[in-house]
Amino acid sequence: MLYRVRLDLAFATEEIPRDIWARAEAMLTRVVKIANKDNPMGEPSFIEIHKCYHDEDPAKPCEIITRIEV
């Protein structure tokens, strides 16, 4: 069994996401990749910061600023 944390939080400025990123990045060495018989390559764990335009009219796709997969 594993314990998983998933966050999807939106902020008006980039400062708080960068702080969360730094804390998560410091823990990446302890992350476990999830793999099973149906997907032996595993399901990546990741952290990501992206610009989200879903609140705009017209909406447009998100733009990844930075992402790390483990």
Instruction: Kindly report the three-state secondary structure assignment for every residue of 7-63.
Output: CCCCCCCCHHHHHHHHHHHCCHHHCCCEEECCEEEEECCEEEEEEEECCCCCCEEEE
Statement: residue 56 has pLDDT above 80: yes
pLDDT of res. 17 = 94
Statement: residue 44 has pLDDT above 90: no
Statement: residue 34 has pLDDT above 90: no
pLDDT of res. 49 = 95
Statement: residue 42 has pLDDT above 90: no
pTM over 0.85: no
